[in-house]
Structure 1
Amino acid sequence: MQQFVDLIFPIPLDNRFTYSISSEEADFLQLGMRVAAPFGKTKIYTGIVAHMHTSPPEIYEAKPIHQILDEKPLLSENQLKFWKWIASYYLCTEGDVMRAALPGAFMLESESIVSLNKSSEINESELSDEQFLVVEALESQSSMKIQEIEALLDKKRVLPIINVLVDKNLINLNQEIYEQFKAKESRYVQLNPLYEAEAEMHRLLDELSNAPKQREIVMAYFSQTAGKKKKIKAKKLMKAASASSSILKSLIEKNVFQEIYEEIGRVGFEGEITNPEINLNKIQQEAFNKIKSEFNQDQVCLLHGVTSSGKTEIYIRLIEEAVNKGKQALYLLPEIALTTQLIKRLQNYFGDKVLVYHSKYSVNERVEVYRHVLQNSEKGKIIIGARSCIFLPFQDLGLIVIDEEHESTYKQYDPAPRYQARDSAVVLAALFKANVIMGSATPSLESYYNALHNKYTLVELSKRFGNVLMPEVEVVDIKVAHRKKKMTGHFSERLMQGIKESLDENEQIILFQNRRGFSPILECNTCGHSPQCPNCDVSLTYHSGNNQLRCHYCGYHIAMQLSCMACGSNEISTKGFGTEQVETEIKALFPEVNVGRMDQDTTRGKYSYEKIIEAFENQETQILIGTQMLTKGLDFRNVGLVGIMNADNLLNFPDFRAHERSFQLMLQVAGRSGRTQKRGKVLIQTYNPHHQIIQQVSVGDYKNMYKEQAEDRYQYQYPPYFRLIRLTLKCRDYSKTNEAADWLARALENVFGRYVLGPEFPPVSRIRNEYYKNIMIKIPQKQSLGKTKEVVRKILNTFNAIGAFRSVRVIPNVDPQ
């Protein structure tokens, strides 16, 4: 009987695609394996085997697959179920999930390869200049890729030229499949066993007496290996003999040495396991015991512990128990910056069992981690990293730790799938019957609501470790300070005094300003003109480091303007301030102090987080200025003062979560202060000192904040009481965006009535010359989420079938953050 497989391709199409396989292939293939299969007229894609059956497709004739790429499955059955859930819940395709889940090296691409047809005669007079150039280049090399021909002719549109040459039968166009992952190898050399006998060795040395440099390498080999038959790294041998690679090469050609290549890991731990003893105090031990008893009933636990209460020690103990049972553990963090400190702590305790996985790693490094997890090897029992870790091929997952669970960075924004890693991790754990512990000093309203309504278990740590006092929070009214002329730049007199006191006591300082760059707005004092980005509806931000005006949405930049672009006036001033300006001012006020800055501009490199954090930990930097990267669970022992430069730009944001986020950010950054015996200090500068959120931060009153925000959310029908789906339409044509949004909103209103909001332009309504418009669907608790999504999918399918709206893209975002 004819056998078939359903494949998932890394393309944004809803369907799986059916291909025919032979009986031999059917015996060998398993779910989760990769195969190369033809798609369309010329493409070859990597597909994942998602289903095997004997039912042929009804609409089209099934093509045979091209080749099988794996000997063992690359995905487990649980992963395939997880992919299906993500695609269904977040209104995307399994192809989108595949693109996000697999390292790029696993997805073989087909690339057009052009080669010369040797049997054809070339008549140069019939060829254009560009066609002749291509043929001439192919005469000197066996084949060329499309990109190489584009570079040769210095133009993008080369396919018409290639098509003409194919029609004239002068060149062949083939599809070549290539695998991107290359194992990292180390080159060793070893003496040929022929020369092991003493007589032969002496004969060899006599023969090499006329080649002193080659003789030197042989002598160096004996001294390095102490006369034993042993391989040695080629680099080490050349260094010991002060010889070049050509001399070693000639010895290999003479068969004196044999070359050996060995695969080595790119990722791993090379230090020593110090395994420091973790002693939980009484409160921690009680919390740990409660978590353990709840785990026995398969409950998700929310650990609400104030900053510096010792949550990480509890996580390490729970990970240790899971690993001792032979299970795998996943430690999720919201920000790559956080992994730097935590990796050291975990590796000191678990050594080589800890592997790191995030987007700053190279493709090859990610493939290596992926393989370790897939093989469930000892190296890689514990994975630590950002949200994409949930897609790793776990075999026996026992525990998921979600640290700083309130963070919005757990939500993927672009591209699809737009998943929330915290919520997805709970589903992943259910598939493996694994335990989940979420921790935060400021839990998200949704998680705390779930804990109060018995969906999760709530465990609380209300005191800091070692009974260290919570920091003293002081609110500084900068409206009064401005009026009394007690401001130095953006620093109030009180903040200046606090910085001086901390420096005198040899303490470190963190200054928090949630805006990067020097100044967000440049304004002409004469006509009021402000330079705008030509591609987006935002003003350009001034960056003093490279003297540029830059758009933070599309990257457009121009040189700093010395006169107004509209009226030519020289009276230009900056409005607002970012981390760069704070850094400039603090360096001018305290020239002898070492200042560091941590924002998106200073953390672009792979190890940039590490360098900044290490410098601050080692007290090489005394003042650290940063954006919200600083707020997330970093542990600095010598910080005496935290200054929040301007609390108002957090609060005045057009979003229903603005107040909750402001509270979380301010309380988290305040928690970086006074983490040892001496009580820390926090100074919050604001124009609105009586704002309820600022008052709640000043006394660390989470429960009151939750109560007030929950009442507002209930009244205005927002999460956790209602679910949300936001549909964003984008198109380069303004009027078409409006028409399409109106049509879609009407279609949705016919079904959901008053629960559809919009269409509305977002605060930034044009990005990269595309206009954006939002429609929000609210879903009451009693309404079926699955059925709602089915209806939304049907309406979107109808919308996509309308020719007039073909250029308008609709991006569904379930549970937008």
Structure 2
Amino acid sequence: MNHYIDVILAIPLENMFTYSITKAESQFLKVGMRVSVPFGKTKIHTGLVGAIHTNPPLIYDAKEIHQILDEKPIVTSKQLEFWQWIAKYYMCTVGEVMRAALPNAFILESETLISRNLKKEIKDTDLKDDEYLVFEALHHQSSLKIQEVSSILDKKNVLPVIKRLIEKEVILLQEEIYDKYKPKYVRYVKLKAEYTSEVGLHQLLNDLSRAEKQKQVVMTLFSIAAKTKKPVKVKDLVEESGSSPAIVKTLINKGFFEDYHIQTDRVQYEGEDNEATKALNAYQIEALKQIKTSFETQNVTLLHGITSSGKTEVYVKLIESVLAEGRQVLYLLPEIALTTQLVTRLQNYFGDQVAVFHSKYSAHERVEVYNHVLGNSAKAKIILGARSSIFLPFHDLGLIIVDEEHEQSFKQFDPAPRYHARDAAIVLAHLHQAKTVLGSATPSLESYNNAVENKYGLVEINRRYNNVQLPDIELVDIAEKYKKKRMKGHFSDRMIEEITEALDEGYQVILFQNRRGYSPIVECNICGHSPECPNCDVSLTYHQFRKQLRCHYCGHTNAMLLKCMACGTSNLDTKGFGTEQIESEAKTLFPKAKVARMDLDTTRGKYGYEKIITALEQQEIDILVGTQMLTKGLDFRNVKLVGVMNADNLLNFPDFRAHERSFQLMLQVSGRAGRTKKQGKVLIQTYNPYHKILQQVSINDYLGMFKEQLQERRDFKYPPFYRLIKITLKHRDYNKVETASDWFAKSLRQVFKANVLGPEFPGVSRVRNQYLKNILIKIPQQQSLGKTKEAIKKINTSFEAIGPFKGVRVILNVDNY
């Protein structure tokens, strides 16, 4: 009897491919192991065993596999079940889910580039013959394709050799060659074990009686270690003792000290005793009790707690009870920026049981965390991560916490799978028979509606921690201020007055402007020409710091123009303003204050967020100017004033969620103010202070906003009453996109009648030289979602078979929010 396996490949294929295996291989292989297989004419791919059976394929002859890459499965059966659900629900292939779910180091392909790891010293004796040949070849060439390695070793299957070289850290994969975030090692020093006792230390000091400076360094090391109870950096020891690195080196050479390195970008827990978790106040105790009660009947509970009400401490108590049962916890956050503060807090409570997983970690670090979770290691009982951490191989998940559940960062837009981590997390919890807590001060309309309709449990905390008052929110009419000439740049007299008062009292200030750069438009005052991006339909943003015009869609840059490209005059002016301009105006208006900026430009590095957040916490910054990164659940104790520089560009956005998002953003940024005893102040500058949303923000009226927006959604057929699927067509040729989108929309209308909108060009209709056209399908609650998707897939299959439309890319985006 012949034996076969179905293999999932990390490419967008509808079906799994069947390969033949021997009887012995069939007894060894398990679902979830990796195999290297031939695919196409010459390519070798890493695939994942999806099924083992004895049924030959009917359409083609099954090829043999090349090699088995694992000794035990690296993907669990629950993970595969979850992948299948994601692929089906979000209309993509399991291969695309596999590509998103597995760290890059697990998916080797014949076209993957490898290069030498220059940071690691390798001894020839550590390498086998075939490994040495590859290592030697990389001395003569900076990088090799895996196909080239195949010809060097004169054998087809080279993936096991590559795998061994990766494990020995001899080579790096292509993804890491361009990795901007280089691991950083910090050198630490400690007393050798025999000198740590009182007798040993006494003996050591006797031995050094003549070497006064060395003795001084030993005493300093002992006192720092006793005081901080933490590992001591060589740098700190040299500074504290007033000596030099040479003396430390001498003590290491004599065998009195021992040095070691810690890679600081891995989340290391270096404490000793875990802090006791904080005692909850009456409102938090009541909330915890209500959550546990709601879990008896509901699988999902929404915790609606106002900003600074202490939701994190409630989560911590829930985590404690799940860990006591020996189960794992997934704590999802929308933004990497948040992990910095939260990692510290959770590690203080739970020590090294906390593992962190997000995209700014290198491939090796991601593999390490993945393996800890797979092995149900004690180092990965609590996973703190961004949206991609829902794909980790959980062994026994007991609780998922989705913090700031309203955030749009939980939705993946490109590439496929275009999943929403909050919704997918609820399904993942269901597979593990776990509970889910969604937390937010400004819940999304969908979640709050589900809670109101009793699909979710609802628990509310309406008081801030320590009974601190909510900030006083004031709307400033800048139309009137401009008329009365009471503006200095983009600062109203009220804003200047409040900032001055806060700084004089020793408090800090946050200024929010949802645009980075200096100015979004550069315009000629004579002919009105404005420089635009050659690849996208947008004007170029002026970045003063680099004297550059930059496109925020494709990254195209130009040097700042000295004269107009159209009429040649040098009368150029900037229109609108971004964070850079606010930063420079703040420096001019408040020359004594330390002003910093937090946006995508200043946080590109691995530690970008950390540096700015730490500087603000340690009060090295007086005024922080930033984009919406600032709004996400960060806890700054000394911020008294928050200024929103212009509320109108949030409100006047062509999107059915614009008002809901504006409310959430402004209330969240307001929540950064006055988190200690003194009441905070929020100033919102606007041309339209009587706008309904701004009025609701000023009195913290979430319920008013919810009811009003819900009615609008009902009237205009939007979620939560209708589901949305957005179909985007993309091509370089404008006419091709026009005719293709018309054909697609007509075909959809034959099936769905009136609930098809478009095709329409989006606000930015050309990005990276590709024209875009959108079609929106609205699906009423009574209409079968499964059958709707099947109909769309059939139309898409017919579309792909039409010759003139060849090359037009179709992107399906389910639940487009």
1:241–1:677 distance in 2 versus 1, CA, 3 Å:
closer
- Aligned with 2:460: secondary structure? strand
User: What are the equivalent positions in structure 2 for 1:248-647 lying under 5 Å apart?
Assistant: 266-647=266-647
CA displacement at 1:276 relative to structure 2: 3.2
Cα distance in 2 for partners of 1:765, 1:407 equals 25
CA displacement at 1:454 relative to structure 2: 1.1
1:522–1:95 distance in 2 versus 1, CA, 3 Å:
same
Residue 736 of structure 2: aligned partner: 736
Cα distance in 1 for partners of 2:614, 2:265 equals 25
CA displacement at 1:410 relative to structure 2: 0.2
Determine if the alignment matches structure 1 residue 182 to structure 2 residue 167.
yes
Residue 693 of structure 1: aligned partner: 693
CA displacement at 1:42 relative to structure 2: 1.0
Asked if structure 2 preserves the Cα contact closer than 8 Å seen for 1:598 and 1:612, the reply is yes
Amino acid at match of 1:36: S
Amino acid at match of 2:482: H
Cα distance in 1 for partners of 2:367, 2:158 equals 22
1:469–1:346 distance in 2 versus 1, CA, 3 Å:
same
1:263–1:65 distance in 2 versus 1, CA, 3 Å:
farther
Asked if structure 1 preserves the Cα contact closer than 8 Å seen for 2:471 and 2:679, the reply is yes
Cα distance in 1 for partners of 2:546, 2:264 equals 41
Asked if structure 2 preserves the Cα contact closer than 8 Å seen for 1:400 and 1:434, the reply is yes
Instruction: Give the TM-score, by structure 2 length.
Output: 0.84
1:113–1:687 distance in 2 versus 1, CA, 3 Å:
closer
Cα distance in 2 for partners of 1:757, 1:778 equals 8
Cα distance in 2 for partners of 1:113, 1:271 equals 40
Asked if structure 2 preserves the Cα contact closer than 8 Å seen for 1:113 and 1:144, the reply is no
CA displacement at 1:353 relative to structure 2: 0.3
CA offsets per residue over residues 505-548 of structure 1, 9 Å max, x none? 11110000000000000000000000000000000000000000
Amino acid at match of 1:311: K
- Aligned with 2:585: secondary structure? helix
Bigger Rg, structure 1 or 2? 1
Listed as ranges, the gaps of 5+ residues in structure 2 are 115-132, 171-184, 188-236, 238-244, 255-259
CA displacement at 1:596 relative to structure 2: 1.4
Residue 226 of structure 1: aligned partner: none
Residue 198 of structure 1: aligned partner: none
CA offsets per residue over residues 761-813 of structure 1, 9 Å max, x none? 00000001000000000000000111111111111111112121111000000
Amino acid at match of 2:167: K
1:811–1:466 distance in 2 versus 1, CA, 3 Å:
same
Asked if structure 1 preserves the Cα contact closer than 8 Å seen for 2:299 and 2:434, the reply is no
CA displacement at 1:273 relative to structure 2: 3.9
- Aligned with 1:379: secondary structure? helix
Residue 814 of structure 1: aligned partner: 814
Stretch moving more, 63-72 or 706-715: 63-72
- Aligned with 2:466: secondary structure? helix
CA displacement at 1:146 relative to structure 2: 13
Cα distance in 2 for partners of 1:68, 1:410 equals 35
- Aligned with 1:438: secondary structure? strand
Stretch moving more, 139-148 or 704-713: 139-148
Determine if the alignment matches structure 1 residue 651 to structure 2 residue 651.
yes
1:706–1:262 distance in 2 versus 1, CA, 3 Å:
closer
Cα distance in 1 for partners of 2:489, 2:111 equals 57
1:175–1:529 distance in 2 versus 1, CA, 3 Å:
farther
Asked if structure 2 preserves the Cα contact closer than 8 Å seen for 1:101 and 1:392, the reply is yes
Residue 27 of structure 1: aligned partner: 27
CA offsets per residue over residues 105-162 of structure 1, 9 Å max, x none? 0112224999xxxxxxxxxxxxxxxxxxxxxxxx9997579986999xxxxxxx9xx9
Asked if structure 2 preserves the Cα contact closer than 8 Å seen for 1:390 and 1:421, the reply is yes
- Aligned with 1:642: secondary structure? strand
- Aligned with 2:110: secondary structure? strand
Cα distance in 2 for partners of 1:519, 1:265 equals 34
Task: Give the percent of matched residue pairs that are identical in Structure 1 and Structure 2.
Answer: 61
- Aligned with 2:388: secondary structure? helix
Determine if the alignment matches structure 1 residue 16 to structure 2 residue 16.
yes
Asked if structure 2 preserves the Cα contact closer than 8 Å seen for 1:183 and 1:263, the reply is no
Asked if structure 1 preserves the Cα contact closer than 8 Å seen for 2:113 and 2:144, the reply is no
Asked if structure 1 preserves the Cα contact closer than 8 Å seen for 2:533 and 2:551, the reply is yes
- Aligned with 2:695: secondary structure? helix
Cα distance in 1 for partners of 2:563, 2:276 equals 61
Cα distance in 2 for partners of 1:262, 1:141 equals 27
Amino acid at match of 1:810: V
Asked if structure 1 preserves the Cα contact closer than 8 Å seen for 2:67 and 2:157, the reply is no
CA offsets per residue over residues 68-107 of structure 1, 9 Å max, x none? 1111110111000000000000011111111110000011
Amino acid at match of 2:396: D
Asked if structure 2 preserves the Cα contact closer than 8 Å seen for 1:541 and 1:549, the reply is yes
Amino acid at match of 1:272: E
1:288–1:141 distance in 2 versus 1, CA, 3 Å:
closer
Asked if structure 2 preserves the Cα contact closer than 8 Å seen for 1:334 and 1:403, the reply is yes
Instruction: State the Cα RMSD in Å.
Output: 3.1
Cα distance in 2 for partners of 1:629, 1:356 equals 19
Cα distance in 2 for partners of 1:682, 1:577 equals 20
- Aligned with 2:297: secondary structure? coil
Cα distance in 2 for partners of 1:173, 1:522 equals 59
Residue 110 of structure 1: aligned partner: 110
Cα distance in 1 for partners of 2:511, 2:112 equals 53
- Aligned with 2:64: secondary structure? coil
CA displacement at 1:64 relative to structure 2: 1.3
Query: How many pairs align?
Result: 722
CA displacement at 1:262 relative to structure 2: 14
Asked if structure 2 preserves the Cα contact closer than 8 Å seen for 1:481 and 1:487, the reply is yes
- Aligned with 2:656: secondary structure? coil
Asked if structure 2 preserves the Cα contact closer than 8 Å seen for 1:298 and 1:433, the reply is no
Cα distance in 2 for partners of 1:140, 1:397 equals 42
Residue 101 of structure 1: aligned partner: 101
Instruction: Give the TM-score, by structure 1 length.
Output: 0.84
CA displacement at 1:417 relative to structure 2: 0.6
Residue 749 of structure 2: aligned partner: 749
Asked if structure 1 preserves the Cα contact closer than 8 Å seen for 2:138 and 2:144, the reply is no
Asked if structure 2 preserves the Cα contact closer than 8 Å seen for 1:79 and 1:393, the reply is yes
Cα distance in 1 for partners of 2:340, 2:266 equals 17
Stretch moving more, 794-803 or 400-409: 794-803
CA displacement at 1:261 relative to structure 2: 14
Cα distance in 1 for partners of 2:409, 2:4 equals 41
Amino acid at match of 2:373: V
Cα distance in 2 for partners of 1:261, 1:639 equals 37
Asked if structure 2 preserves the Cα contact closer than 8 Å seen for 1:273 and 1:350, the reply is no
1:592–1:184 distance in 2 versus 1, CA, 3 Å:
farther
Asked if structure 1 preserves the Cα contact closer than 8 Å seen for 2:640 and 2:673, the reply is yes
Asked if structure 2 preserves the Cα contact closer than 8 Å seen for 1:593 and 1:622, the reply is yes
Amino acid at match of 2:21: I
Amino acid at match of 2:427: V
CA displacement at 1:297 relative to structure 2: 2.7
Cα distance in 1 for partners of 2:769, 2:480 equals 42
Residue 805 of structure 2: aligned partner: 805
Cα distance in 2 for partners of 1:623, 1:181 equals 46
CA offsets per residue over residues 229-271 of structure 1, 9 Å max, x none? xxxxxxx9x988959x9x99xxxxxxxxxxx999999543123
Cα distance in 2 for partners of 1:108, 1:453 equals 48
- Aligned with 2:63: secondary structure? coil
Cα distance in 2 for partners of 1:87, 1:654 equals 30
Amino acid at match of 2:647: A
Amino acid at match of 1:512: F
